[in-house]
Structure 1
Amino acid sequence: MNKQKIVIVENDQDEQFFMREAFENSGLFDIIAIVKNGDTLQEWLAGNGNNLPDVILSDLNMPGKNGYDILEEMKANAGYSNIPIIITSTSSTKNTIDKVMSLGAADYMAKPDTFIEYDPFAKRLYDIVGSKQLEKK
């Protein structure tokens, strides 16, 4: 299995910890950055153009630029528009999911309710990224 290079955009430190643990334990991802919002994502991308991620996992609701802003900015930038962005949030409302998908999200995943659910979350994310890469071929 090929490891996927991932950037995680998440402002909550506990969520960052659980995601890092699960993704590292899965052996499926190489976490190349964890940033706290869309502002810091743009700064990171500007300084790391030679090491772009295979996927970005972004929380939806954050201070500063949020998941909606990230989708709009990334899709408008030709250099980043092909990077799949998976949006995650505690909300699973149809309106929210429809909106992020209409803005160009590759998919939407509800955040796990408990920390022990992050291992299957990581596997599902890997499967989603793999299916999106097959669609592009």
Structure 2
Amino acid sequence: MRKFKIIVVENDEDEQFFMKQGFDSSGLFEIITMVRNGDVLLEWLTDNTATLPDIILSDLNMPGKNGYDIILGIKGNPTYNHIPVIITSTSSTKTIVDKCLNMGAADYVVKPETFIEYVPYVENLHRLIEDKQLVRNAGGLPS
């Protein structure tokens, strides 16, 4: 089972804490960094082009650049447009999900209702990435 390098974009500190616990407990991901919004993400990517992630997991609603802005920023930049962006939010509203997917998000995953559900959330996220072959290996082929 492949361990994916991930950047998590989340503005809520409590949510960050519990997400990190879920990711660390699963052992399925290496969190490269956690940032609070799209502004910080895009700055980080610009400063760290040698350490790009396999996946970006982004909250949808944040101050500054939000999830929609991140999708457009990543998809519109040839340096980063190969990195799948998965949007996560508490909303499961079909029009919001469809908007994210139509803008170029690789997928949309609803956040768990309680913080104790982050390990299954992370396990499901990993399975989704593998099943959809969202991450390419070094040779450019699905992993």
- Classify the TM-score, shorter chain: over 0.9
Residues matched between the structures, number: 137
- Structure 2 residue runs of 5 or longer lacking an equivalent are 136-140
Matched, 1:116 2:127: no
The alpha-carbon deviation at position 15 of structure 1 amounts to: 0.6
**CA RMSD across the alignment:** 1.3
Over residues 41-78 of structure 1, what are the superposed CA-to-partner deviations in whole Å (9 max), with x where a residue is unaligned?
00110111001000000000000000000001100101
Secondary structure in 1 aligned to 2:124?
helix
- 1:23 paired residue number: 23
- CA distance in structure 1 between the partners assigned to 2:4 and 2:49 by the alignment: 17
- 1:60 paired residue number: 60
- 1:40 paired residue number: 40
Contact 1:106/1:132 (8 A) holds in 2: no
Q: What amino acid is the match of 1:89?
A: S
Percent identity at matched positions?
Answer: 59
- CA distance in structure 2 between the partners assigned to 1:133 and 1:39 by the alignment: 28
Q: What amino acid is the match of 1:31?
A: I
The alpha-carbon deviation at position 129 of structure 1 amounts to: 1.4
Matches within 5 A, 1:66-105: 66-105=66-105
- Structure-2-length-normalised TM-score: 0.92
- CA distance in structure 2 between the partners assigned to 1:96 and 1:18 by the alignment: 24
Secondary structure in 1 aligned to 2:118?
helix
Which contiguous aligned blocks of 4+ residues in structure 1 show a shift greater than 4 angstroms?
A: none
- CA distance in structure 2 between the partners assigned to 1:68 and 1:78 by the alignment: 18
